[in-house]
């Protein structure tokens, strides 16, 4: 599957590929004139190209597998995918997901929305409440400037509705109660759960919020949303049961709210997908789904059919997967039927700095380089100094991280010496990727074939 990219996205990505990588980027110091395009043309060996360590890389075969496998899964299940762009904040990766049929890109903040918008992405879902008055005004200006731009955000309170309506109703030079050119901003009523994050705690509250939004002249109720990943329980079976019940509640609201709020009024300037309202064809959006339990979300939100609604998953971490957290809780690991087989794509390379004790190696990578909130890095293999093409397996355990050091406990007889390079798998990609701004993409034979940018 390969869909053409929107022209503006393609144009701005071409310019990004030719942008020189700043020598201050981690690992790129000696490669001052490098660009993604030049690296792709030269295909240097990873450990012979002049990179310094530590260095985070992306394995191309795993990336391609994950993007294609998730797209195929969604297609079979009859759901759309708006991958969460906060995971990598990479326009290159988001564009690959669009090319494989993604409905749009999800973001978590107005700053992230502005970043993807700067690269021309035409449909963005802000999976969060928007109460930033400057951000609301900027979004309205974007909707005014580009009739082809489609945006959504969440609401979970009448206060939030009032803030959006007040700012959108008093933009200079526009009629009170209307976005420019008669457009209205599509909002999704968010539900939550006890001790969770944002979202209406009761269905009655969700109905009140939806009715409040429907009575404005600036907003339209485009659907409902929730996030199941923050639901906790004593056992996996209990958690899966609670997640399923949460999704059934979300589905019930998606079926009930249109009748309660009535159809959104539309004028000539509001028809079509650019109106910023419901999904193409006027369907009501129902969206949930992280990267751990999207199988349960898919099953529950499609139960009974999807006529009149567009079910959208917002999984993000699947694109790189990991060797730890997601590797242990993913649908495939749990044996879910028809689950996509995802592969870890992120690898952190760190040099051995010291062997101060027989069973200890100190590596030159730490909390400034790799996530540690959902598990410590996992040693995978090593490259001996002076033999960049020779890889060997490695057993051991990272037991502690400092800012710039990892404590690798291993057998005292392990032939690992200062200057050797250790490849580490990661746990929780979100808190690893946000420590890097340019990441080499590597082939299975150890060649650098591209680079992607992360705009954190």
3-state SS assignment for residue 261 = helix
At residue 170 the predicted structure's pLDDT band, cuts being 50, 70 and 90, is confident
3-state secondary structure 367-415: CCCCCCCCCCCEEEEEECCCCCCCEEECCCEEEEECCCCEEEECCCCCC
For residue range 63-96, list pLDDT tens digits in order: 999 999 999 999 999 999 999 999 999 999 999 9
Question: How many Å apart are CA 262 and CA 276, to the nearest integer?
Answer: 17
Residue 424 per-residue DSSP state: E
At residue 388 the predicted structure's pLDDT band, cuts being 50, 70 and 90, is low
3-state SS assignment for residue 452 = strand
Instruction: Assign a CATH topology to domain 7-59+342-453.
Output: Lyase, Ornithine Decarboxylase; Chain A, domain 1 (2.40.37)
Residue (of 201, 189, 200) closest to 164 by Cα position: 189
Question: How many Å apart are CA 74 and CA 94, to the nearest integer?
Answer: 16
Which tokens go with 181? 């050119």
Instruction: Assign a CATH topology to domain 122-315.
Output: TIM Barrel (3.20.20)
For residue range 7-26, list pLDDT tens digits in order: 999 999 999 999 999 999 99
Please enumerate in sequence order all residues whose Cβ is within 8 A of that of 86, keeping only pairs 6 or more positions apart, or say none.
106, 107, 108, 109, 112, 316, 430
Q: What's the whole-number mean pLDDT along residues 242-260?
A: 94
For residue range 141-157, list pLDDT tens digits in order: 999 899 999 999 999 99
Please enumerate in sequence order all residues whose Cβ is within 8 A of that of 432, keeping only pairs 6 or more positions apart, or say none.
56, 346, 348, 369, 370, 371, 426
Give the orientation angle of helix 60-77 with respect to helix 91-99, to 10 degrees. 40
For residue range 171-186, list pLDDT tens digits in order: 765 444 446 556 899 9
Q: Where are the domains of the chain?
A: 7-59+342-453, 122-315
pLDDT at 393: 78
**Model's pTM, two decimal places?**
0.93
State which H helix or E strand residue 300 sits in.
Answer: helix 294-302
For residue range 263-278, list pLDDT tens digits in order: 544 333 343 333 333 4
For residue range 355-383, list pLDDT tens digits in order: 999 999 999 999 999 999 999 999 999 99
| Partners of 378 in the β-ladder | 425
For residue range 295-306, list pLDDT tens digits in order: 999 999 999 899
Which tokens go with 288? 């949930």
Please enumerate in sequence order all residues whose Cβ is within 8 A of that of 267, keeping only pairs 6 or more positions apart, or say none.
182
Which tokens go with 202? 């009761």
């Amino acid at each position: 599957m390969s869909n053409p990219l929107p022209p503006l996205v393609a144009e701005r990505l071409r310019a990004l590929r030719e942008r020189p990588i700043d020598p201050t980027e981690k690992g790129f110091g000696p490669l001052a004139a490098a660009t993604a395009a030049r690296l792709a043309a030269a295909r240097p060996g990873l450990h012979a190209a002049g990179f310094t360590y530590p260095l985070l890389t992306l394995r191309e075969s795993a990336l391609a597998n994950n993007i294609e496998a998730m797209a195929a899964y969604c297609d079979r299940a009859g759901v759309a995918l708006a991958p969460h762009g906060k995971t990598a904040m990479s326009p290159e990766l988001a564009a690959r997901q669009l090319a494989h049929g993604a409905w749009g890109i999800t973001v978590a903040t107005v700053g992230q929305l502005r970043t993807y918008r700067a690269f021309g992405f035409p449909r963005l879902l802000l999976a969060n409440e928007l109460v930033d008055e400057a951000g609301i005004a900027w979004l309205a200006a974007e909707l005014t400037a580009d009739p082809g731009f489609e945006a959504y955000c969440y609401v979970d309170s009448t206060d939030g509705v009032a803030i959006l309506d007040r700012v959108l109703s008093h933009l200079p030079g526009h009629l009170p109660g209307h976005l420019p050119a008669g457009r209205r901003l599509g909002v999704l009523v968010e539900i939550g759960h006890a001790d969770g994050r944002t979202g209406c705690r009761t269905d009655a509250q969700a109905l009140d919020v939806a009715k409040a939004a429907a009575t404005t002249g600036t907003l339209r109720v485009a659907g409902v949303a929730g996030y199941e990943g923050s639901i906790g329980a004593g056992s996996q079976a209990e958690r899966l049961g609670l997640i399923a019940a949460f999704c059934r509640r979300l589905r019930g609201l998606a079926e009930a709210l249109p009748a309660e709020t009535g159809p959104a009024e539309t004028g000539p300037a509001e028809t079509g997908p650019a109106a910023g309202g419901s999904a193409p064809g006027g369907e009501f959006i129902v969206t949930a789904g992280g990267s751990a339990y999207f199988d349960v979300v898919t099953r529950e939100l499609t139960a009974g059919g999807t006529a009149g609604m567009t079910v959208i998953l917002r999984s993000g971490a699947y694109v790189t997967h990991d060797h730890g957290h997601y590797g242990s809780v993913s649908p495939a690991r749990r044996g879910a039927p028809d689950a996509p087989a995802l592969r870890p794509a992120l690898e952190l390379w760190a040099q051995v700095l010291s062997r101060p004790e027989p069973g200890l190696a100190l590596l030159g990578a730490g909390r400034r380089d790799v996530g540690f909130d959902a598990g410590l890095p996992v040693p995978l293999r090593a490259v001996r100094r002076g033999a960049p093409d020779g890889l060997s397996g490695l057993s051991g355990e990272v037991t502690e991280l400092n800012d710039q050091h990892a404590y690798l406990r291993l057998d005292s007889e392990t032939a690992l010496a200062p200057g050797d390079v250790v490849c580490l798998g990661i746990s929780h990609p979100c808190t690893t990727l946000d420590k890097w701004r340019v990441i080499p993409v590597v082939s299975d034979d150890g060649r650098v074939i591209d680079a992607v940018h992360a705009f954190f």
